[in-house]
Amino acid sequence: MKEQIIQRVEEALAHLRAQGTLPAQPCPPVQLERTRDKSHGDFATNIALLLAKPAGMKPRDVATAIVDALPADAAISKVEIAGPGFINFFQAGAFLTDSLSAALADEHLGVPRAAAPQTVVVDYSSPNLAKEMHVGHLRSTIIGDAVARTLEFLGHTVVRQNHVGDWGTQFGMLLAYLEEQQDQAELSAELSDLENFYRAAKQRFDDSPEFAERARALVVQLQSGDIHCLKLWHDFNQVSLRHCFEVYERLGVSLRPEDVRGESAYNPDLPYVVAELDKAGLLTESEGARCVFLDEFKNKDGEPLPVIVQKADGGYLYATSDLAALRYRAQKLGADRILYFVDQRQALHFQQVFQVARLAGFVTPKTDLAHMGFGTMNGPDGRPFKTRTGGTVKLVDLLTEAEDRALALVQGKNPELDAEELFNIARVVGISAVKYADLSKHRTSDYIFNFDQMLSFEGNTAPYLLYAYTRVASVFRKAGIEPATLDLSAPLALDAEQEVALATLLLQFGETLQQVAEKGVPHLLCAYLYNLAGAFSSFYEHCPILTAQQTEVRDSRLHLAWLTARTLKQGLALLGIATLERM
RNA sequence: GCGCCUGUAGCUCAAUUGGAUAGAGCAACGGCCUUCUAAGCCGUCGGUUGCAGGUUCGAGCCCUGCCAGGCGUACCA
């Protein structure tokens, strides 16, 4: 619809240019927006305001000229000029009902697939395997997952990359400790809680010089490919990854083992990366380290800031492995676009790495590289989320608390449910509340984590959306109607304002997903679903479905309800959130 | 020091990237259940968008200068 109106306006502009009413120079692209206020129609463009000055005309005169030159279109019922010179478009009722029927009959809910599908590499989650996943990993994991799912739904090829931290000096310490533990039973018990294991290893490292020495030796052995070391390292990582996948499983995150490609995978590439930088003439030696200096970045003394790719002792850094990863993703994975869902604090790092990768030719000039940074999750005091004693909060503990709180709430509201269903509902409500609370905030801003708020049934929360979905499910259950048996070709009748509002919103699913995919901001999808659920609740209160007088009205409303349910379910699925038939 | 980000209702968050009267939820107050789940709906109240200038038809958004906070800034990731 949007494209169609833009097309018509372009035609009018071309006509006016040919006529000499408007100057022949190219004009800015026509922007068409959904209006916030229904009295301004369904769509509005400000093009007349933009063209007034170059044309030497009053904005409203330009608008009038455009409207007069506008070709007829059955989808547009009315065009008005308003305010300083906005052109408002009202869509025809028939267009609305036709589009709805098309969406109803479409598995894909009327959402068009990308005309030019891309291969998009999405780098997300990427925990450090030396420790257990903590709350700091939540945002990357679920935001990245939601965007990956959305891109896939829109027809792109998504390659997930879980760039886990499985390499580095802290592994020497862990392996030394692993090696020391003779008692297998005790070992597996300790490994079941990686956080304790890490702490214990760190303790040994700090207390015993011999242990520290052994740890450092193991790092060297590991890097030189010692078999014994590699086995210890591999075993440790397997245990740690198992922890990660338990969390992914609970969270409903779509990452699979084959998506894991950790830092160590790029180890063999690192010397070549440095060699290629050298060949490209980008390398400078400074204070013993090999660096790339970029003019646009300065350090604290106003001197050029280096991107260090090889330390004075010969070791490599995370910039090096990120460069290797970029090269691999662009060249081996054939990425058109690479998205990094990594903490906002690494913004400078990514700017540098992207710049170096371009200069070195690791990626093509048109490879779209984007750091999708995000803010921090804070506690009630506005400071980074910590336990009462100041420690980091393990992700599993957070999820367990969410489920426990959800269980208490659901039990209170609906005590007659049997235990199995009760637990299932509590699980879905608890997990989705945590995920949704995060996803519904703008990616780049910090936010305050609050259990009571996210588990509330009021406002922009997961429980509210889940409840809206169960209301639709309940209608069909009550009526004994199997949605699959609905005659989707039956005509729709939209009379009540709540019906029109709901229908209009239902048709905006695709454009919402488009924006989520472009900007990597799932909160727009959340806002959309919240509006949709609200529009449905309003419709539900004001427009009786099953008890409607005429069968045409009843059928029409059932269709609206059915498309609402499917859209809610699909939208939540793209956020990685399951739905419930009852709660 | 330099760079990046943030500052919106008492609280938690939005605002279609420069559009029309800055919107939701919570909290407060008031209505609506013999009728599809009231875990809901409808309404009232609440604002000098940190401050001061500027740009233009039009600024929460862009520019300049302040104020307050956060983060980053050479061998950790």
Residue appearing with tokens 């109803």: A104
A454 within 8 A of A380, measured Cβ to Cβ: no
Looking only at the bridges linking them, the beta strands covering A86-91 and A119-123 are: unpaired
Q: For A556, list phi and psi in degrees, rounded to 5.
A: -60, -45
pLDDT digits (tens, 9 = 90+) for A393-418: 999 999 999 999 999 999 888 888 89
Decide: A121 and A338 in contact? Cβ < 8 Å: yes
> Which bases of strand B sit closer than 7 A to a protein CB?
1-7, 12-17, 19-21, 24-27, 35-42, 57-58, 71-77
Rounded CA-CA distance A577/A436 in Å is 8
Assigned token pair, A329: 């993703």
As a whole number of angstroms, the distance between CA A468 and CA A472 comes to 7
Distances (CA, A) of A446 to A34, A70, A100, A156, A520: 28, 46, 38, 30, 16
DSSP letters, A345-373, are GGHHHHHHHHHHHHHHTSS-TT-EEEE--
Question: pLDDT by residue (tens digit) across A462-473?
Answer: 999 999 999 999
Strand B: which of residues 86-115 in chain A lie with Cβ below 7 A? 86, 88
Residue A262 CB in 7 A reach of strand B: no
pLDDT of residue A301: 66
Angle at A81 between CA A79 and CA A84, to 5 degrees: 155
Asked whether strand B has any atom less than 7 Å from the CB of A58, the reply is: no
CA angle A257, A319, A301 (to 5 degrees): 150
Q: Which nucleotide is nearest to A498 (CA to C1')?
A: B41
pLDDT in tens, A545-567: 999 888 899 999 999 999 999 99
Contact A143, A372 (CB under 8 A): yes
- pLDDT score at A302: 66
Average pLDDT over residues A532-549: 94
**Residue A242: count of CB within 10 angstroms of its CB:** 12
A38 touches strand B (CB under 7 A): no
Q: What is the ipTM of this complex?
A: 0.96
pLDDT digits (tens, 9 = 90+) for A168-195: 888 999 999 998 887 777 788 888 889 8
> Residues of A from 342 to 371 whose C-beta is within 7 A of strand B: which are they?
344-349
The nt closest to A450 (CA vs C1′) is B12
Per-residue pLDDT at A135 exceeds 80: yes
The tokens of A507 are what?
């048709």
Interatomic separation, CA of residue A522 and C1' of nucleotide B59, rounded (Å) = 27
Higher pLDDT, A192 or A420: A420
Tokens in use for A54? 């170059």
Q: Give the CA angle between residues A555, A559, A564 to the nearest 5°.
A: 150
pLDDT at A26 over 90: no
Distance CA(A194)–CA(A240), nearest Å, equals: 7
C-beta atoms surrounding A158 within 10 Å? 21
CA A76 to chain CA mean position, Å:
34
What count of other Cβ atoms lies within 10 Å of the Cβ of residue A544?
Answer: 12
Query: Do the Cβ atoms of A139 and A374 come closer than 8 Å?
Result: yes
Strand A377-378 relative to strand A447-448: parallel, antiparallel, unpaired? parallel
* H-run or E-run covering A51: helix A47-55
Question: If DSSP codes are grouped into helix, strand and coil, which group holds residue A162?
Answer: strand
Mean pLDDT to the nearest integer, A441-467: 94
A569 pLDDT exceeds 70?
Answer: yes
Residues 466-525 in A having a C-beta less than 7 A from any atom of strand B are 467, 470-471, 473-475, 478, 515, 519, 523-524
Would you state the structure tokens that stand for residue A294, as one six-digit string?
A: 């970029």
Tokens found for residue A549:
């007088």
* Range among A91-95, A109-113, A190-194 rated most confident: A109-113
Q: Rounded to whole angstroms, how far apart are CA atoms A292 and A403?
A: 49
Whether the CB of A301 is less than 7 Å away from nucleic strand B comes out as yes
Contact partners, residue A193, CB within 8 Å, separation at least 6: A132
Closest CA to A440 of A563, A533, A510, A371: A533
A488-504: average pLDDT: 91
Q: How far is CA A487 from CA A102, A481, A562, in A?
A: 13, 12, 12
Kindly determine whether the C-beta of residue A432 is less than 7 Å away from any atom of nucleic acid strand B: no
Residues 378-417 of A with CB under 7 A from strand B: 378, 382, 409-410, 413-414
Nucleotide nearest to A546 (CA to C1'): B36
Indicate if CB(A582) is under 7 A from strand B.
yes
Distance CA A336, CA A356 (A): 18
CB A473 within 8 A of CB A534: no
Distance CA A159, CA A157 (A): 7
At residue A300, the pLDDT reads 65
**Phi, psi angle pair for A305, to nearest 5°:** -95, 130
Show the DSSP H helices in A280-317 as ranges.
none
pLDDT averaged over chain A?
93
A537 near A529, Cβ under 8 Å? no
Q: In chain A, which residues from 204 to 243 place their CB closer than 7 Å to nucleic acid strand B?
A: none
Q: pLDDT tens for residues A307-349?
A: 999 999 999 999 999 999 999 999 999 999 999 999 999 999 9
Residues β-bridged to residue A298? A304
Whether A454 shows a pLDDT value over 90: the answer reads yes
Two tokens, residue A582: 């009852």
